[in-house]
Amino acid sequence: MSNRKLHPETEAIRLQTPTTAQHEHSTPIYLTSSFVFDKADNMRAAFAGETDDNIYSRYSNPNVDEFAAKVAAMEKCEAGYAVASGMAAVFSSFMALLKTGDHLLCCRSIFGGTVTVVTKFLDKFGIEYTFVPADDISCWEKEIKPNTKMVYLETPTNPQLELVDLEAVGKLTKKHGIIFNVDNCFATPVLQTPVDFGADIVLHSATKWMDGQGRVLGGVVVGKKELIHEIYLFCRNSGPALSAFNAWVLSKSLETLSIRINRHSESALKVAERLEKNPQIEWLKYPMLPSHPQYEIAKKQMKAGGGIVCFEIKGGIAAGAKFMDSLELLSLTPNLGDSRSIASHPASTTHGKLTEEERAKVGITPGLIRISVGLEHPDDILYDIEQALAKI
C-alpha cells in the first residue's frame, strides 16, 4: 500500500498479525504457552532483547500484540501493552512508573476499584497521593509538589459523568514535566483521543465498550514508547498476562467499535433528553446535554457523549432499590458497555467498599443510578426505565 494514513476505524479492521503458511483471512488464536526456536543463538537473542521474537505468552503473544497495536493506532500512540483486566492496566501504570517517594496527583472522581488501589495500596510502597476535584483545575497546580511524578484522571468519570478539561491538564503536566495518565474507558478512542491534549499514556478496561458484549476481561495501556516499555517490563515479571483467547475476541470486537459507539451515543442522547423531564428524577447528567455543568468541555474534546447516562432518583436508597427491582428489560449487573442495556446502583456495588464519607467526596449519592445504554431500540429502553420510575 501507499504511505497514506488510514482512518482509525480502518486500522481497527486491517491491522493484523502477518498471515501464516495457511493464508488465513482472519487471525488465528495462538493458544500456546511458549514458542520454539530453530537455533540456540536465536533463543539467546530473543532473551537478550535483540529481537522481537515471541518467547513465552506471559511476555508476549501474537493475539495480545495485535490487540494492543490496534488500540495504540486508534489512540494515536507509539506503542501499547495489553493485560488481563482494566484494573491490571491501572495498577501496572502506577507500579511501573512510580517509585517510593513519588507523589501521585489524582482526580477525586474515579472508579471505586482505582480509589481502593490509591488509598489502600500505594502507601505500602511509599507512594504519596493527593485527590483533586474534577471540576476545578485551578486548584490542581497548587497541589503539585517537587516529587509529583504523575497526574491520573478519568473523563468522563465513572459513574457520575464529570468531565475534566484535558487541554488544561495537558498544559499543566507539560509545564511541570509530569507524566499525564488518562483512563479513556468511557469515551473510547472513537469519541476522544487524550494524546491530542497532551496525555503521555492512555488506558482502558477493554472489558467494557471494547468487548461490547460482556464476554471477556481485558485491559490495555498505550502511549509513549519508552513509558510502555517500562510497563511491559513490570508486567513481564509480575504476570498480569492477557489470555490469547480474550485478546483474539477483543481484537475482533474493535472492528465494530466505531459503529457500536456511535449507536450507543445516539440512543443515550435520546434517553437522556427524555428522562431529564421525568418528575421522579432529581437531576440527570449526560455530557452532550446543555444542562451538564461541563457541557462546553464535552463539546471541545468529545465527538459525542458516549453510552452512559446517570441520574439521581428522588427518595434515596429505598427508591433506588425499588427502581432496580421494577426493571423488566434492563439487566442488573455491575458491568457496562454491553450490547444489552444495564442499570446499576453505584452506592451498593462499584463504590460499595467505600465509606459513606468517601462516597460523598466522589459524588456517589444514595439514589444515583447509572444506565449503560445498549443497542436495543431506544424506545424499548425508555419504556422500561419510565415504567420502573412510575412504580417508585
Is the separation of the CB atoms in 12 and 258 below 8 Å?
yes
| Bridge partners of residue 222, in order along the sequence | 80, 202
Taking alpha carbons only, the member of 83, 385, 329, 39 closest to residue 218 is 83
CATH of the domain at 299: 3.90.1150.10
| Bridge partners of residue 371, in order along the sequence | 309, 343
Q: Which three cell numbers stand for residue 246?
A: 480474550
Same domain, 194 and 273: no
Rounded CA separation 96/241 (Å): 15
CATH of the domain at 26: 3.40.640.10
Q: Is residue 23 in some structural domain?
A: yes
Please give the pLDDT value at position 102.
Answer: 98
Taking alpha carbons only, the member of 172, 141, 167, 138 closest to residue 155 is 167
Please give the pLDDT value at position 359.
Answer: 75
pLDDT above 70 covers what percent of the chain?
A: 98
- pTM for this structure? 0.94
Q: Which of 237, 253, 269 corresponds to the end of one domain?
A: 253
Same domain, 32 and 128: yes
Q: Decide the pairing of beta strands 103-107 and 148-154.
A: parallel
Q: How many domains does the chain have?
A: 2
Taking alpha carbons only, the member of 339, 266, 351 closest to residue 309 is 266
> Is the peptide bond preceding residue 279 cis, with omega within 30 degrees of 0?
no
Same domain, 41 and 87: yes
Residue given cell 495462538 in the structure block: 30
Q: Which three cell numbers stand for residue 199?
A: 496525555
Give how far Cα 151 sits from Cα of 169, 182, 219, 233, Å: 8, 8, 20, 21
Spell out the per-residue pLDDT of the chain, length 392, in tens. 678 889 989 999 999 999 999 999 999 999 999 999 999 999 999 999 899 999 999 999 999 999 999 999 999 999 999 999 999 999 999 999 999 999 999 999 999 899 999 999 999 999 999 999 998 999 999 999 999 999 999 999 998 899 999 999 999 999 999 999 999 999 999 999 999 999 999 999 999 999 999 999 999 999 999 999 999 999 999 999 999 999 999 999 999 999 999 999 999 999 999 999 999 999 999 999 999 999 999 999 999 999 999 999 999 888 988 999 999 999 999 899 999 999 998 877 766 677 778 777 767 888 999 999 999 999 999 999 999 999 98
Rounded CA separation 117/166 (Å): 23
Q: Which three cell numbers stand for residue 379?
A: 424506545
- φ/ψ of 222, rounded to 5, equals -130, 160
Same domain, 90 and 230: yes
Domain of residue 70 covers 8-253
Q: Is residue 272 in some structural domain?
A: yes
| Helices 378-389, 316-326: inter-axial angle, 10-degree rounding | 130
Q: Which of 229, 253, 277 corresponds to the end of one domain?
A: 253
Please give the pLDDT value at position 351.
Answer: 64
Same domain, 306 and 325: yes
Is the separation of the CB atoms in 268 and 156 below 8 Å?
no
Is the separation of the CB atoms in 147 and 102 below 8 Å?
yes
Is the separation of the CB atoms in 319 and 367 below 8 Å?
yes
Q: Is residue 3 in some structural domain?
A: no
